[in-house]
A and B are shown apart, each in its own frame.
Chain A
Amino acid sequence: MNSSESGDQDVNIEEEELNEPIIIAQSAKGMEIQENSDPFNGTFVFFDEDHTLGNSLRYILANQPNVEFCGYSLPHPSENKMNLRLQTVNETKEKIMNDGLKCLSQICDIIEDKFKQALEKK
């Protein structure tokens, strides 16, 4: 009797687990820093981003002064993550990252301006 009851319970638990909604790749944008103990070195994890942001941000950061190393990777195609490793000197990694992002935003403004000028010329 007891054994059959416990058996039923096991089945119930499994069913409950099966019935839980599986959340697949919800678009939850955001960024976090992995093991944030060192102010100069760290890995930024971007959620729901890919090469579009990764490569251009890597390019900008690698060309900033005070950056010792910068590289990015997409760990797995079914994990919606982008890892960006940043190692800096003299300035904190958060500041350099923020400067890099602002720089990208300025680039957008410049391209938009020049593109609109070109459209008017034509």
Chain B
Amino acid sequence: MDQHKLQLKEDQILKPFKQEKFNIKQFQRELEINILSKTDDKIVFEMINIDAPIANSLRRIMIAEIPTMAIHKVQVIQNTSIIPDEVLAHRLGLIPIIADPLQFIEKDDQEEYNELNSIDFTLVAKCEKKPNCRQDDPIENQYTNTTVYSSSLIWQPKGQQAKQFANNPIRPVHSNIIIAKLRENQELNLRLICEKGVGKRHAKWSPVCTAFYKLMPSIIIKNKLDTQRQEKLESLCPMKVFGIKGNQIKVINPRNCTTCRECIREANGFDKDIELNKIDNHFIFSIESVGQYEPKDIMLQAIEVFRSKVQLYIKE
């Protein structure tokens, strides 16, 4: 255990020399995964006894190599709004689209758009004066389409798509993303084409808001402290890592630690009493989904992508 500790000092990190070792049988025996929390759009889990290269590969794949669908081509038939065509197209590209990417194939440069590699949307909105409105009404009540939201994107199924996606129709993840604001007689008439891609090419295809890991902190109070200093230490930590229980100060929330090093700063006088460590084979992953995938599926997809990447080079 001790050889996996990185000791943090105020201005340096002490790392014991350790011979990297890897044994697949030992890995299978010792790897431990625990789910710490799970919601609709975020999962937090810990992986214990895994080394940084493997954990980092998974993290990199989650961000850059899991395919999703995103708007890639915009045909502007009419745009009289104040947003220039290219800015509008960029905004549209960033709208996350719910569509199972596994049902599509990535389009080749020479290929034509078809039902297997693309999704079509249309967006038609015109700002017009409503009949019977009063002059002193707010502007939204006087005109239609003063604000165009992502709910105005209308999916135009191609070929078999209507049947194929009947259970889970293709739509934007959020219906309340503002695309543009219009005023009287301004008009948008667009045809949008979605393509399959990965975050490596453009961040709009990335399925995660954030996917990161941090190392598990291990905080040790080495010396006995008197009551006054205990209270000082408790209030010193901005993340409330320490707590007094039965006259004794204890580390109650080690996971809250953000490595601010306030507790080991020499000026605060606790640098001889506290040892702040990180355990270098205990990773706490936190994956937040944009909405195309469930967060747990992002991890499973990352493993799948990694495996297929490796298997490409295996020769029997």
Residues of A within 8 A of B (CB): 29, 31, 46, 49-53, 55-56, 58-60, 62-63, 94, 97-98, 101-112, 114-119, 121-122
List, in ascending order, chain B residues with CB within 8 A of A121's CB.
Answer: 35
List, in ascending order, chain B residues with CB within 8 A of A50's CB.
Answer: 60
Q: List the count of A-B residue pairs having beta carbons below 8 Å apart.
A: 94
Please determine whether B54 and A56 come into contact, CB atoms closer than 8 angstroms: yes
Please determine whether B54 and A114 come into contact, CB atoms closer than 8 angstroms: no
Q: A55-B57, A63-B21 are in contact. Are A119 and B35 (CB under 8 A)?
A: yes
Q: A46-B313, A110-B31, A122-B35 are in contact. Are A55 and B53 (CB under 8 A)?
A: yes
A-B contacts, 14 of them at CB < 8 A, read A29-B312, A52-B60, A52-B65, A52-B309, A62-B20, A63-B21, A101-B311, A104-B310, A105-B307, A107-B54, A110-B24, A110-B31, A111-B303, A117-B33
Q: A53-B57, A101-B314 are in contact. Are A59 and B20 (CB under 8 A)?
A: yes
- The size class of the interface chain B forms with chain A is 35 or more
Q: A104-B310, A107-B27, A115-B33 are in contact. Are A55 and B56 (CB under 8 A)?
A: yes
Most buried by A among B27, B50, B54, B57: B57
Rounded to whole angstroms, the CA-CA distance of A98 and B47 in the bound complex is 27
Rounded to whole angstroms, the CA-CA distance of A56 and B45 in the bound complex is 21
| Chain B residue, CB-CB nearest to A31 | B313
Please determine whether A59 and B24 come into contact, CB atoms closer than 8 angstroms: no
Q: A105-B307, A114-B33, A115-B299 are in contact. Are A59 and B22 (CB under 8 A)?
A: yes
Rounded to whole angstroms, the CA-CA distance of A112 and B60 in the bound complex is 17
Rounded to whole angstroms, the CA-CA distance of A29 and B58 in the bound complex is 19
Rounded to whole angstroms, the CA-CA distance of A31 and B65 in the bound complex is 19
9 other contacts beyond A59-B22, A101-B313, A115-B33, with CB at 8 A cut-off? A51-B56, A52-B309, A56-B54, A59-B54, A98-B315, A105-B314, A111-B54, A114-B33, A117-B33
Q: A52-B57, A52-B65, A108-B310 are in contact. Are A119 and B296 (CB under 8 A)?
A: yes
Please determine whether B35 and A108 come into contact, CB atoms closer than 8 angstroms: no
Please determine whether A111 and B53 come into contact, CB atoms closer than 8 angstroms: no
B184 at the interface (CB under 8 A from A): no
Residues of B within 8 A of A (CB): 20-24, 27-28, 31-35, 38, 45, 47, 50-51, 53-54, 56-58, 60-61, 64-65, 296, 299-300, 303, 306-307, 309-315
List, in ascending order, chain A residues with CB within 8 A of B24's CB.
Answer: 103, 106-107, 110
| Chain B residue, CB-CB nearest to A94 | B315
Please determine whether B303 and A108 come into contact, CB atoms closer than 8 angstroms: yes
How close is A106's CB to chain B, nearest CB, in angstroms? 6
Partner of B60, one of A51, A107, A122: A51
Please determine whether B32 and A114 come into contact, CB atoms closer than 8 angstroms: yes
Please determine whether B53 and A118 come into contact, CB atoms closer than 8 angstroms: no
Rounded to whole angstroms, the CA-CA distance of A122 and B116 in the bound complex is 37
| Chain A residue, CB-CB nearest to B19 | A63
List, in ascending order, chain A residues with CB within 8 A of B313's CB.
Answer: 31, 46, 97, 101
List, in ascending order, chain B residues with CB within 8 A of A105's CB.
Answer: 307, 310-311, 314
List, in ascending order, chain A residues with CB within 8 A of B60's CB.
Answer: 50-52
How close is B107's CB to chain A, nearest CB, in angstroms? 12
Most buried by B among A58, A59, A62, A117: A59
Please determine whether A53 and B21 come into contact, CB atoms closer than 8 angstroms: no
List, in ascending order, chain B residues with CB within 8 A of A115's CB.
Answer: 33, 45, 299-300, 303
Rounded to whole angstroms, the CA-CA distance of A56 and B53 in the bound complex is 5
Rounded to whole angstroms, the CA-CA distance of A58 and B310 in the bound complex is 13
List, in ascending order, chain B residues with CB within 8 A of A116's CB.
Answer: 300
Partner of B300, one of A53, A62, A101, A112: A112
List, in ascending order, chain A residues with CB within 8 A of B315's CB.
Answer: 94, 98
